[in-house]
């Protein structure tokens, strides 16, 4: 028989709650999010800095936003600056986005700013949550929903399914619908590549590092790849064959902002 961990009588700290009520609370909340966001205004693939920024911007505009992330954590590569060193940098004027989020930082030299990665990520995640963004972690993009010549949703499955032995992986995915999809999946650019597989888009792969050139072009090239699908962040770099931008994050934040505005404009066009 299982015995109490603390045998002696002590002053009670926590409220009594049955184990089953904890289970029901978790399941009910997850169910509510799943039902509510199965049909969203915008679905974003990837919760890195570009995806999180886009999600926060769109949710603040009043749109219903769902972010799927294949990892159990949010933030992508924004936790580290490079080579497992966690200070992250941005170049002028991207520090203004840190100002919006209340991220403290220091000026390294003219035009270059730095902050601890965990501080920047946690503020960005909190900002998205505060804005009303909903997240499904351990959720892996599998395919697109294509209707009437435009992307109308995504097909997803549990991330752990892909790690199961082949003889027990016959687990069908499910689909979510949205007016606009943003591929912010980073180097994987998973949604763009599914269009490439079908001859509906082109993908060039990343060029060697050139920070000044890479950061400029990733923002300028952020845009709609196919009706209903917008590429943001490193997915833009990979899709258009742009220069690697290195361990600086200003263009990811600005690409997310631009993707959000493009998505909002596309939704307004659909609703006319």
- Tell whether 205 is covered by a domain: yes
- Tell whether 89 is covered by a domain: yes
Looking at residue 165, what is its pLDDT?
Answer: 78
139 with 159: CB under 8 angstroms? yes
- Tell whether 13 is covered by a domain: no
Structural domain total, the chain: 1
Looking at residue 106, what is its pLDDT?
Answer: 98
- Which tens digits make up the pLDDT trace of 25-46? 999 999 999 999 999 999 999 9
Looking at residue 167, what is its pLDDT?
Answer: 67
Looking at residue 132, what is its pLDDT?
Answer: 98
Report d(CA 70, CA 137) in Å as an integer.
6
243 with 214: CB under 8 angstroms? yes
Residue 50 counted as an annotated binding residue: yes
- Tell whether 99 is covered by a domain: yes
Share of the chain above pLDDT 70, in %: 96
Report d(CA 171, CA 57) in Å as an integer.
34
Has residue 4 got a pLDDT over 90?
no
Looking at residue 7, what is its pLDDT?
Answer: 59
The answer, yes or no, to whether the previous bond of 93 is cis (omega within 30 of 0) is: yes
- Tell whether 21 is covered by a domain: no
Residue 91 counted as an annotated binding residue: no
- Which tens digits make up the pLDDT trace of 13-27? 999 999 999 999 999
- Which tens digits make up the pLDDT trace of 215-240? 999 999 999 999 999 999 999 999 99
- Tell whether 24 is covered by a domain: no
- Which tens digits make up the pLDDT trace of 125-166? 999 999 999 999 999 999 999 999 999 999 999 999 888 877
Residue 234 counted as an annotated binding residue: yes
Query: pLDDT-based confidence at 171, cuts 50/70/90?
Result: confident
Residue 238 counted as an annotated binding residue: no
Report d(CA 154, CA 191) in Å as an integer.
9
Query: pLDDT-based confidence at 243, cuts 50/70/90?
Result: very high
- Which tens digits make up the pLDDT trace of 90-100? 999 999 999 99
Residue 2 counted as an annotated binding residue: no
Three-state SS annotation for 203-243: CCCCEEECHHHHHHHHHHCCEEEECCEEECCHHHHHHHCCE
Tokens of 258: 């631009």
Has residue 1 got a pLDDT over 60?
no
Looking at residue 170, what is its pLDDT?
Answer: 78
Report d(CA 37, CA 43) in Å as an integer.
9
Please name the residues in contact with 229: beta carbons below 8 A apart, sequence gap of 6 or more: 144, 151, 180, 181, 182, 183, 191, 192, 195
Share of the chain above pLDDT 90, in %: 91
- Tell whether 31 is covered by a domain: no
Residue 260 counted as an annotated binding residue: no
Residue 272 counted as an annotated binding residue: no
Query: pLDDT-based confidence at 196, cuts 50/70/90?
Result: very high
At 176, is the secondary structure helix, strand, or coil? strand
Residue 167 vs residue 66, higher pLDDT: 66
At 13, is the secondary structure helix, strand, or coil? coil
Residue 77 counted as an annotated binding residue: yes
Tokens of 131: 């804005």
Residue span of the structural domain in which 160 resides: 42-271
Report d(CA 55, CA 58) in Å as an integer.
5
Mean pLDDT for the stretch of residues 206-212? 97
- Tell whether 239 is covered by a domain: yes
CATH number of the domain at 219, please: 3.50.50.60
């Amino acid at each position: 028989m299982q015995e109490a961990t603390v045998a002696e009588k002590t002053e009670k700290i926590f409220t009594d709650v049955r184990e089953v009520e904890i289970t029901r609370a978790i399941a009910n909340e997850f169910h509510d999010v799943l039902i509510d966001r199965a049909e969203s205004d915008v679905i974003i693939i990837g919760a890195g800095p570009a995806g999180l920024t886009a999600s926060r911007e769109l949710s603040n505009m009043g749109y219903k936003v769902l972010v799927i992330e294949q990892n159990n954590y949010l933030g992508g590569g924004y936790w580290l600056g490079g080579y497992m060193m966690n200070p992250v940098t941005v170049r002028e004027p991207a520090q203004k986005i840190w100002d919006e989020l209340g991220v403290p930082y220091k000026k390294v030299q003219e035009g270059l700013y730095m902050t601890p990665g965990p501080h920047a990520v946690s503020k960005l995640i909190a900002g998205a949550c505060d804005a009303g963004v909903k997240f499904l972690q351990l959720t892996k993009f599998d395919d697109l929903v294509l209707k009437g010549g435009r992307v109308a949703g995504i097909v997803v499955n549990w991330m752990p399914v892909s790690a199961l032995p082949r003889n027990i992986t016959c687990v069908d995915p499910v689909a979510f619908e949205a007016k606009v999809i943003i591929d912010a999946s980073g180097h994987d650019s998973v949604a763009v590549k599914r269009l490439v597989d079908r001859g509906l888009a082109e993908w060039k792969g990343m060029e060697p590092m050139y920070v000044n050139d890479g950061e400029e072009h990733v923002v300028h090239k952020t845009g709609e790849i196919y009706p209903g699908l917008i590429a943001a962040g490193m997915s833009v770099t990979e899709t258009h064959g742009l220069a690697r931008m290195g361990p600086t994050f200003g263009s990811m934040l600005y690409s997310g902002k631009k993707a959000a505005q493009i998505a909002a404009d596309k939704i307004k066009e659909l609703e006319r």
